[in-house]
Structure 1
Amino acid sequence: MELDWLEDFVALSSAGVFAKAADARNISQSAFTRRIKNLEYWVGTPLFDRSVHPVTLTQAGESFRPVALDMINTLNTARAEARGLARREDAVLDFAALHTLAISYFPRWLNRISGAIGPIRTRVVAENFSGCVEAILSGSSDFMLCYHHHTVPMIADDARYPSIRIAEDRMIAVSCPGLDGQPRFTLDGTDTIPLLCYTRDSFLGKMTNQIIDRAGLRARCDFLYENSVGEALKSACVEGLGIAWLPMAAVERELSEGRLIRVSTEAAENPISIRLYRSMERSRREVERFWSYASSL
């Protein structure tokens, strides 16, 4: 049995098409097919159902996949250590996180987990919603941290990209205070609402537009400023430019200090959750350790 066979197996289980997987592995399709057959001979049973297109894993293939991933990681690490080239990269956990979560939530959440299981080496890339999804689907991140709401489609493949709910949050409308200590802008009455908004295709933008339409506020909203990053909208709101809908967890400090005031009622708010997604294809000891503890909270 060769390491290449295991890597071919993982490539085909992800691609589902022999030609596509062979291209990704940079070998001819005939050679790729031959190596897959050699692996199946070695295991002693078919690992792929070839009666469907794209091909799918048999029950034996499903059972063998996590073993293959673990063997690949173990063999690569052992080889690197034997050559004196091993680095600590495997101990680094890669996260793709929405900008707002990367700034306002991730450090506090990581500190809580680190306090229980010890120091954790992390690398965080702050992205928009589509960028986060692309990062985990492309295999460049171990985990994805994002908001979730049942009305916004997410990754459908729960087997490859399972998720857990780690917190609840809520979209609320906020305004800075006026000289009298009362909100400078409100949602009450008939006055125009100076709107600070997200890009329409962003997750928080979709949530905000749902709220505005459901609460019947669309006709009163006057667009003033757009930014895909929630922290930028929060700053604009603190400066008094208008009203913004923001996750409550992202404005807790500003609310407690009186720099922002909540101006929405339940009818003009939306509950959202924070979910952690992982890629089963990036399984290694540190990833499994972190996932196991995060799942237990």
Structure 2
Amino acid sequence: MDLNWLRDFECLGRTLNFTRAAEERNITQSAFSRRIKALESWVGLPLVDRATYPVRLSEAGTQFLPVAKSAITDLSESRQLIRDQDRGDRQQVRFSVLHTISVHYLANRIDALEREIPQLRTRVISDSLSACCQLLLDGAVEFLLCYRHADIAPQIDEAEFARKDIMTDRLIPVAERQAAERNQWALPGQEVRDIPYLAYERSTFLGIVTEHLIGNRQLHLDMIYVDGLVEAIKRRLLAGSGVAWLPETAIRQELETGSVVAVGGSEWETPMALSVYAAPDQLDTIAKEVWARF
């Protein structure tokens, strides 16, 4: 038995889609399918009815899903308790958060929270959306901070967790001002000369949002660089390497000083909610104070 098999099955039980579940688990669809089959072999019965579209869980799968979820939670909580006891930091409030939110929002917010709650001690785990969601599902963190988009299905079951929307951010197509002016970069670009494009990995949340925003519209872009981190793309952008869609919070100062400019109108932007998730009834006293202040 591999714990990842249970996590894969939980993801498939939530999405009922092999392609999307594989993307969330950050593995190829063929590898994901092999792991589901390995779990079925271990259980001894088919867990998924593959003859339907979309797929659905078999009767055995429906019975096994809550068992898998419980096992994941119990193992993760036990592991975390042992680690916390060893480090002597059981009083820490734990956050899982996307890298860019950690840098451009949470760090300042924790500064303020520490002034309001002097006994607060925190641990922040910055990772991909799928990993951050898994930490919350496993009970390894008290809070998850992530983006939500109206056209992208949530990765968290909101029947199990409470959500607060903190603010609205915007994903904006931008470029370094001098490079944009010198090269006349403006969406949708010119057929005679493609605009160099700094893109997100397709499996990342911002990559999915950007591709959905572009849709079937004709753009003259030359994808010269791909990365999963906003800060890495921003660094290339500030060097004048090309255009990219960046969260407004990540470039607010540069937009205000004029060193970075938008290269498209409002039709090329999209709003995203910055949200926090938690299970309030499972929070200790200090964590409940933090939740109340979001």
TM-score tier (shorter) = 0.5 to 0.7
Q: Distance in 2 between matches of 1:192 and 1:183?
A: 10
Q: Which residue of structure 2 lines up, in the alignment, with residue 240 of structure 1?
A: 240
Q: Distance in 1 between matches of 2:157 and 2:151?
A: 17
Task: Kindly report the root-mean-square deviation, in angstroms, between the aligned alpha carbons of the 2 structures.
Answer: 3.2
- The answer as to whether partners of 1:94 and 1:124 remain within 8 angstroms in 2 is yes
Superposed displacement of residue 282, structure 1: 4.2
TM-score (norm 2): 0.65
- 2:205 corresponds to which of 197, 203, 206: 203
8 Å contact from structure 1 (residues 90, 286) kept in 2: no
What letter corresponds to residue 211 of structure 1 in structure 2?
L
Match of 2:108 in 1: 108
Q: Is the 8 A contact 1:183 1:263 kept in 2?
A: no
How many angstroms apart in 1 are the aligned matches of 2:275 and 2:180?
A: 39
Cα distance change of structure 1 residues 120 and 182 upon mapping to structure 2, 3 Å threshold: farther
What amino acid maps onto 1:146 in structure 2? Answer: C
Q: Quote the Cα distance in structure 1 between the aligned partners of 2:194 and 2:203.
A: 24
Structure 1 distance, partners of 2:183, 2:118, is: 43
Change (3 A) 1:99 1:86: closer
1:125 matched to 2:125? yes
2:204 aligned partner, one-letter code: S
- Gaps in structure 1 of 5+ consecutive residues: 1-51, 57-75, 77-84
What is the correspondence of 1:1-297 to structure 2 with a 5 Å cutoff? 53=63, 89-118=89-118, 120-178=120-178, 185-187=185-187, 189-190=189-190, 191-213=193-215, 216-218=217-219, 220-280=220-280, 282-294=282-294
Which letter does structure 2 place at the counterpart of 1:203?
Answer: F
Where does the alignment leave 5 or more consecutive residues of structure 2 unmatched?
1-61, 67-80
The structure with the largest alpha-carbon Rg is 1
CA separation of 1:235/1:91 partners in 2, compared to 1, >3 Å: closer, same or farther?
Answer: same
Q: Tell me, in whole angstroms, the C-alpha distance in 1 between the residues paired with 2:201 and 2:180.
A: 32
CA distance, structure 2, for counterparts of residue 225 and residue 290 of structure 1: 39
Deviation at 1:173, TM superposition (A): 0.7
Q: What TM-score, normalized to structure 1? A: 0.65
- Tell me if structure 2 keeps the 8 A contact 1:148–1:273: yes
Aligned residues: 219
